[in-house]
Amino acid sequence: MAETAVRMEAGERTTTRPGFLSRIFLHNLPAKIAALPMVLTVLVVFVGCTIWTIYYSFTNSKLLPTGKFVGFDQYERLFATSRWNVSVWNLVAYGSMSLVFTLVIGFILAVLIDQKIRFESAFRTIMLYPFALSFIVTGLVWQWIMNPTLGLQGTLRNLGWENFTFDWIANPRMVLFALLIAGLWHGTGFCMVLMLAGLRGVDEEVWKAARVDGIPTWRTYVSIVLPMMRGVLITAIVIIGSGIVRLYDLVVALTNGGPGISSEVPAKYVFNYMFSGGNIGQGLAGATMMLLTVLIIMIPWAYLEFGGKGRRA
Amino acid sequence: MSQTATMTGQPAVAQDTSGPRGPRPKPFFTPKKVILYTVLVFFSLYYLFPLYVMVVTSLKTMPEVRFGNIFALPTAPNFDAWVKAWTSACTGLNCNGLAPGFWNSVKITIPSTIVSIFIAAVNGYALVNWRFKGSEIFFSILIFGSFIPYQVMLYPLVMITREMGIFGTLQAVIIIHTVFGMPILTLLFRNYFASLPQELFKAARVDGAGFWRIFFEIMLPMSLPIFVVAIILQVTGIWNDFLFGVVFAGTQNYPMTVQLNNIVNSAQGTPEYNVNMAATVLTGLVPLTVYFVSGKWFVRGVAAGAVKG
């Protein structure tokens, strides 16, 4: 439809067949002007900057990105740096726990909310409001709650529970769980909203059929409804996953990487090397590894979603 | 009487009203329901607890905080900590409180929201109604680009903005927010405009209206709902941003989130937890207000964000 309009316009404008250049630039001109920011964003930022970063990650740039080509040196150094390896391990550990728990809690909450309960919107409001807050606020509140002397631990000890321990934030082996509690607080409500939309999208007939067949409710959820929500699940996994790879603000606010380097994450490593470490090559190599991680998540999804040539619009 | 009954569609045949009708009423306190509500309330406490702690702590005095009971309500609630957080909390040697950060955030959020939404709306409109060769390809890359970690593009963008002479200014942050808000907003507007009846557009074309005239006089008046969703999405998103603010805004223009983090995490001397929490509440107040006022619209915005890709 739009094409017809466009063709009509082309017919009006030029009686002779327009030249190649004028067809590219002048034809449908206002639309091209309107789309210019998008074209620039795509070409300069998403494609240009990404290629630039990948290229310069193979140089020995220090304070300025002017170094000479050194092959995979930066990557070898990267994986020989304990801080980077800790970061990657943290991301894998935190990421897998966060993904699983977010999905499971999100789904359970959605199922509970979907039981025709009273005060549904009140519960939903309470569960989603953390998502409106920034990671900085989230991190700082939980930092205060987990404060070993005056926070939850101190309070319960003062109240008489002498050996209650909740010092995860100061304990290198538990700090990831502290991060997890704050992260789940922020993100599970969002997952719940997605899942609830998915649940509500399931046809009522399916439920009736399952009831007639005498299938228990939990079984219907697990074996029938969940597979039907495949689209929502994949969307949720992709969004949560790409959020996890970006994890930065929460760590900065909650632990700032500490104690020691025990809660460092790749995004923070990259940031520090780029802007305060004076070793741009390292930062860029780390950034490229982050990109690679996202691609590993994205490509199977893109293949599933768009692979079957226009299977989905 | 019987006539009115027939008229209102009531069955004329007298029903057996002797026994109870309808499904058997369920008692409210079935074991299943008790468990259901217990779990829901338990989770609600987990979600509400930080908000409670934040507000309660901010209303206490420091001696009371040191007493070590984060559950306790303040004995004499006062806003001293709020005043201090707003006007005189220190980051390093700077003791101006959060107020400058608040105004910086306002100065960043308002223009960024307007610019990013306008550009994305026009863009979405062009993508639906004025397709040109390659427009769909650009759009696909735009959507996939939204999944690239920001760190990948950060350094080159610093160089570009420095080259343009705007690094460390408000303009730079506004441009960055426009660029990174574009994928989701364009998707939002594109889907919305695609759902409008094409006949409107065609009729306007036949009547000789051009690109901008159709946009301003036909499309805009019909797209108020999607603008509300976009505004909610952008205001909360930009207000909550930390990374772009800390990189591009420059020390003078640090947004509220950055100043909050500096106040709390780089404080010298004994930390004043009540001031810290007051500052945290203050920073969270804007998005929380947007959230509670907008209600269902926020959920719509979030759900719209979810269909990206």
Condensed to tens digits (0 to 9), the pLDDT of residues A124-162 reads: 999 999 999 999 999 999 999 998 888 888 888 888 888
A217 touches chain B (CB under 8 A): no
Q: Which residue has the tokens 């739009």?
A: A2
**Taking a C-beta distance cutoff of 8 angstroms, is the pair B218, B209 a contact?**
yes
CA-based end-to-end distance of chain B: 62
- pLDDT per residue as tens digits for the range A153-175: 888 888 888 888 888 888 888 99
- Between B6 and A225, residue with greater pLDDT: A225
Q: What mean pLDDT is predicted for residues A255-264?
A: 87
Q: Which residue has the tokens 């574009």?
A: B182
Token pair recorded at residue B309: 């890709």
A126 touches chain B (CB under 8 A): yes
Angle at A301 between CA A300 and CA A304, to 5 degrees: 85
**3-class SS of residue B142:** helix
Q: Which residues of A touch B156 (CB under 8 A)?
A: 48-49, 52-53
Asked if A46 and B148 come within 8 Å (Cβ–Cβ), the reply is yes
Asked if A140 and B260 come within 8 Å (Cβ–Cβ), the reply is yes
Give the count of beta carbons closer than 10 Å to the beta carbon of residue A121: 11
B297 touches chain A (CB under 8 A): no
Asked if A287 and B307 come within 8 Å (Cβ–Cβ), the reply is no
Q: Which residues of B touch A178 (CB under 8 A)?
A: none
Q: Angle between the A120-132 and A175-200 helix axes, to the nearest 10 degrees?
A: 130
Token pair recorded at residue A274: 């780029």
Please report the pLDDT score of residue B309 as a whole number: 34
Token pair recorded at residue B153: 């593009």
Q: What mean pLDDT is predicted for residues A237-262?
A: 87
Where do the domains of chain A lie, and which CATH numbers do they carry?
A: 2-56 (no CATH), 73-306 (1.10.3720.10)
Which spans in chain A are helix H? 2-13, 20-25, 29-34, 36-40, 50-56, 73-80, 82-113, 120-132, 135-145, 152-158, 175-200, 204-212, 217-219, 226-228, 230-246, 249-254, 266-275, 280-306
How many CB pairs lie under 8 A apart between chains A and B?
A: 282
Which of B289, B278, B264, B288 is CA-nearest to residue B55? B278
C-alpha B70/C-alpha B43 separation (Å) is: 19
C-alpha A237/C-alpha A232 separation (Å) is: 9
Which of A4, A107, A136, A247 is most worth mutating to test chain B (most B CB atoms within 10 A of its CB)? A136
Out of A44-58, B42-56, B76-90, which region has the weakest mean confidence (pLDDT)? B76-90
Token pair recorded at residue B237: 């998103």
Query: Is 0.95 exceeded by the ipTM?
Result: no
Cα dihedral B168, B169, B171, B176 sign: positive
Query: By 3-state DSSP, what share of chain B in percent is helix, strand and coil, each rounded to 5?
Result: 70, 0, 30
Give the count of beta carbons closer than 10 Å to the beta carbon of residue B102: 19
Please report the pLDDT score of residue A19 as a whole number: 67
**Taking a C-beta distance cutoff of 8 angstroms, is the pair A136, A255 a contact?**
no
Task: Please list, in sequence order, all residues whose beta carbon lies within 8 angstroms of the beta carbon of residue A116, skipping any fewer than 6 positions away.
Answer: none
Q: Which residues of B touch A287 (CB under 8 A)?
A: 149, 151-152, 154-155
Task: Please list, in sequence order, all residues whose beta carbon lies within 8 angstroms of the beta carbon of residue B241, skipping any fewer than 6 positions away.
Answer: A134, B177, B255, B257
Q: Max alpha carbon distance in chain A (Å)?
A: 92
B272 touches chain A (CB under 8 A): no
In chain A, which residue's Cα lies nearest the Cα of B179? Answer: A41
Please report the pLDDT score of residue A250 as a whole number: 93
A265 touches chain B (CB under 8 A): no
Strands (E) across chain B are located at none
Q: Angle between the B150-164 and B170-195 helix axes, to the nearest 10 degrees?
A: 120
Where do the domains of chain B lie, and which CATH numbers do they carry?
A: 31-78 (no CATH), 101-254+286-306 (1.10.3720.10)
C-alpha A175/C-alpha B285 separation (Å) is: 28
- pLDDT per residue as tens digits for the range A24-34: 667 778 888 88
C-alpha B76/C-alpha B63 separation (Å) is: 12
- Between A310 and B235, residue with greater pLDDT: B235
**Taking a C-beta distance cutoff of 8 angstroms, is the pair B109, B97 a contact?**
no
Task: Please list, in sequence order, all residues whose beta carbon lies within 8 angstroms of the beta carbon of residue A260, skipping any fewer than 6 positions away.
Answer: A172
**Taking a C-beta distance cutoff of 8 angstroms, is the pair A158, B69 a contact?**
yes
**Taking a C-beta distance cutoff of 8 angstroms, is the pair B308, B183 a contact?**
yes
Please report the pLDDT score of residue A4 as a whole number: 46
Its pTM surpasses 0.90 = no
C-alpha B196/C-alpha B235 separation (Å) is: 26
Whether the ω angle into residue B31 lies within 30 degrees of 0, i.e. cis, is no
**Taking a C-beta distance cutoff of 8 angstroms, is the pair B299, B232 a contact?**
no
- pLDDT per residue as tens digits for the range B99-110: 899 999 999 999
Asked if A34 and B66 come within 8 Å (Cβ–Cβ), the reply is no
Task: Please list, in sequence order, all residues whose beta carbon lies within 8 angstroms of the beta carbon of residue B197, skipping any fewer than 6 positions away.
Answer: none
- pLDDT per residue as tens digits for the range B22-45: 777 666 678 888 889 999 999 999
pLDDT confidence of B4, banded at 50, 70, 90? very low
Mean pLDDT, chain B, rounded, equals 85
How close B288 gets to chain A, by Cα (Å)?
Answer: 6
C-alpha A105/C-alpha A76 separation (Å) is: 39
